[in-house]
Structure 1
């Protein structure tokens, strides 16, 4: 086993501010690494869990706070709730992505235009005005979107009533209830229906009109976007504010993560951070390649303030092999994963040392180490997903216990756990994962105190702590040797597995800013 030399100084302790903090995946990883974390989160359920876990939390909308409120925060992290940039139909996802990228470019132009400005105060005023214009544009779009949504709901109700009236009239004209129901169910275009009956013809015509008006409202909502457009810009603005506002000190490091579709946003962020003299890197991370018993991809932006170097940050080095269904032997890393770090011996890439971790192995290790009754022993099993595959809802995805889990989502509690090779549910209440077990598949400690509403959604939305641990160690402790880094990670993973909640934390409001360790007030 590797060890840290006795004369090695302890790692620096950082004060981290976590935006959109969720139930605490990054926070618990930071804690076992020895850092202090304060989160901002608006979801009531996630806040309840954070309080039970003892996580320092300001409850509320990130937009109600400012970077200037937390001058002592050294590191900014977060995962803003982003638009679904890959949604199908009408190009809505692409338009939302393009809109966000245009806003980022406007901010970047304002930053570039003031880099050499002789008056720091005037330069800040110019940058701030750009942000205020963007903020006001987004606010007006949100107001208009609320009005359009209300109109859309009213039209949807009218169309539902119209469909009922059409069904009733069809039955009055001799169709059986089943025939009328089937006819309307298969209705694609209202023009497909014609009738010599005046009442039914009128209903068809009104239905056509309602459908057309609804389509126009949907197109309008796609153009307006929603509040997530503004939220995804918040971390960038906080970074800019701390970097350019007179009297402020820039964040020493930044770590942001989200779903793969957000990578173009992180790439655009990186351009701005490069101008602000950060060393940056963006990277697709496969969770199972870092010891998470689950196949999941995340897009990560990493940055470290270092005006003396223009080199990019090196990528996070994978520790485990990638999982490929149907084969125990891993295939080469896909092209969208950045190369591994060069070994200290100069011999090129160092291959991952460990095989991926399976669901069965992770659950058994958690049960053994935690001695928790919440993590239960199971015979060989297969997980049957709540989701279909290949566009067929009836074709449920399946994963055996000796493989990593499929991506843990907010529907994890609906997955069935059956006897391996069968479609027969496990007995004794083992046919579903409980909260502790679902959390373990995300690498939360078995003792993590899940609380509040919709815990499954909290778990599915969370950052896997073990993945966060690797990324934080990599960005915040770049000076460690390979041996020291491996030892640091091993010890921190052991602490993560053994973690137990301490004292419950009180949720904070804006009124609690005074006297907080990050505020300097």
Structure 2
């Protein structure tokens, strides 16, 4: 079922800039929706992956760019997933301790914007940036860079324009702990005219074959629909079997690892088929016990694909627990909802995969944020069968190989 005719005029109106774009999960979602995008990314390995995927990219540090730079003049949608290491449960935790500090910076930035708008003198953005650079972990302050872009777009004309043009839509995502930061964002965004919506979402409720929680903030000038970003699949609960067919609210069963791989095998002839059933044994402890390794059987969604997923063991799902080959890049990418042959490049591809926005979730978020029709089967077919626009120049047999350090 195609939904292109009804929303194509509106779809063509948007142009997205993706801060901290990583290997391209959100940009791929935009491409699937036929929305132009450009991503800013500083990591050379992620840039290599993006370029192999044919995604427009501006290499460099987000702090050195702004909406007034050439190349961003047509962008009216601001998106971003700032680095999450200091906010992540698996990280040092310094970001969580700094939430009050970050909140203070958010309101300092709002005060800076109001002074600039009124033509008054006072603390400048350079003063604020210098203070941010003095934080114990500078990555913590990067979560504030999207807000700087928002305010600069509202204060100064972009390259080649005569008057300031605010971003029409803002889409930000992070680990769940950052929802408190997004709520503070909401206060200042509402004060400058935006309508906002922030919530922690479960990605398996949007067809991603993985349980992953993400804090999402969407801001726009128009009102939000009553049922904004409604779930399409049921939530996974430990020990519960999937409900076949549709249940309350028209939601389908969550997608298992087996389901996701079966979909690939139907469309990708060269895929290496994995024997099922299998069990993924996590490298992490469960329930506070480091010896109690978490387990997911292949008829369940994958556990969260972190940057350390290569450490997880794969065993047969029987009493013998025979060791099997560990997940490949292609399989881990599929559990993140990337196409099977997504061209991962550079070093530490596992970290790239683990850090990425699941494209399928990205399609849902962008469709809702931009008020497009809900994605139909044709959209998911394009994602499943996606290939880079330009033919691969290297040997397909080595396309997934790691680049030597």
Q: Which residue of 2 aligns with 1:368?
A: 266
Q: Which residue of 2 aligns with 1:256?
A: 172
Q: Which residue of 2 aligns with 1:12?
A: 11
Alpha-carbon distance between aligned partners in 2 of 1:91 and 1:82, rounded to the nearest angstrom: 10
Q: Which residue of 2 aligns with 1:470?
A: 364
Q: Number of aligned pairs?
A: 382
Q: Which residue of 1 aligns with 2:160?
A: none
Return 384-393 or 459-468, whichever deviates more: 384-393
Q: Which residue of 2 aligns with 1:138?
A: 132
Alpha-carbon distance between aligned partners in 1 of 2:351 and 2:99, rounded to the nearest angstrom: 24
Would you say the 8 A contact 2:96–2:177 is kept in 1?
no
What is the TM-score of this pair, normalised by structure 2? 0.87
Alpha-carbon distance between aligned partners in 2 of 1:73 and 1:494, rounded to the nearest angstrom: 27
Would you say the 8 A contact 1:19–1:41 is kept in 2?
yes
Look up the SS of the partner of 1:48 in the other structure.
helix
Corresponding position: 1:437 with 2:331? yes
Alpha-carbon distance between aligned partners in 2 of 1:72 and 1:378, rounded to the nearest angstrom: 48
Say which of 324, 327, 348 aligns to 1:454. 348
Would you say the 8 A contact 1:290–1:466 is kept in 2?
yes
Say which of 388, 402, 405 aligns to 2:302. 405
Query: 5+ unaligned residues in a row in structure 2: which ranges?
Result: 158-162, 393-405
Alpha-carbon distance between aligned partners in 1 of 2:56 and 2:94, rounded to the nearest angstrom: 37
Alpha-carbon distance between aligned partners in 1 of 2:93 and 2:31, rounded to the nearest angstrom: 42
Alpha-carbon distance between aligned partners in 2 of 1:353 and 1:312, rounded to the nearest angstrom: 18
Matches within 5 A, 1:59-98: 59-69=59-69, 70-82=72-84, 84-85=86-87, 92-98=94-100
Q: Which residue of 2 aligns with 1:425?
A: 322
Matches within 5 A, 1:108-257: 108-112=110-114, 117=118, 122=119, 129-139=123-133, 141=134, 224-245=135-156, 247-257=163-173
Alpha-carbon distance between aligned partners in 1 of 2:6 and 2:26, rounded to the nearest angstrom: 29
Structure 1 residues 351 and 269 mapped into 2: Cα distance closer, same or farther (>3 Å)? same
Structure 1 residues 5 and 78 mapped into 2: Cα distance closer, same or farther (>3 Å)? closer
Alpha-carbon distance between aligned partners in 2 of 1:7 and 1:229, rounded to the nearest angstrom: 41
Structure 1 residue 105, shift from structure 2 partner: 1.2
Structure 1 residues 410 and 85 mapped into 2: Cα distance closer, same or farther (>3 Å)? closer
Q: Which has the higher contact order (CA 8 A, sep 6+)?
A: 1
Corresponding position: 1:355 with 2:253? yes
Higher helix share: 1
Would you say the 8 A contact 2:242–2:254 is kept in 1?
no
Structure 1 residues 97 and 248 mapped into 2: Cα distance closer, same or farther (>3 Å)? same
Note the aligned Cα RMSD (angstroms). 2.7
Corresponding position: 1:53 with 2:53? yes
Query: 5+ unaligned residues in a row in structure 1: which ranges?
Result: 142-223, 331-348, 506-521
The structure with the larger Rg is 1
What is the TM-score of this pair, normalised by structure 1? 0.68
Corresponding position: 1:379 with 2:276? yes
After superposition, what is the alpha-carbon deviation per residue over 1:317-371, rounded to whole angstroms, capped at 9, x for unaligned?
Answer: 10000011111267xxxxxxxxxxxxxxxxxx97142000000110111121222
Alpha-carbon distance between aligned partners in 1 of 2:169 and 2:208, rounded to the nearest angstrom: 24
Q: Which residue of 2 aligns with 1:103?
A: 105
Q: Which residue of 2 aligns with 1:22?
A: 22
Structure 1 residue 279, shift from structure 2 partner: 1.4
Look up the SS of the partner of 1:351 in the other structure.
helix
Structure 1 residues 326 and 91 mapped into 2: Cα distance closer, same or farther (>3 Å)? closer
Q: Which residue of 2 aligns with 1:203?
A: none
Look up the SS of the partner of 2:16 in the other structure.
strand
After superposition, what is the alpha-carbon deviation per residue over 1:94-118, rounded to whole angstroms, capped at 9, x for unaligned?
Answer: 4311111110011123345666x4x
Look up the SS of the partner of 1:302 in the other structure.
strand
Would you say the 8 A contact 1:281–1:313 is kept in 2?
no
Look up the SS of the partner of 1:68 in the other structure.
coil
Would you say the 8 A contact 2:15–2:77 is kept in 1?
yes
Alpha-carbon distance between aligned partners in 2 of 1:90 and 1:8, rounded to the nearest angstrom: 44
Structure 1 residues 132 and 350 mapped into 2: Cα distance closer, same or farther (>3 Å)? farther
Look up the SS of the partner of 2:376 in the other structure.
helix
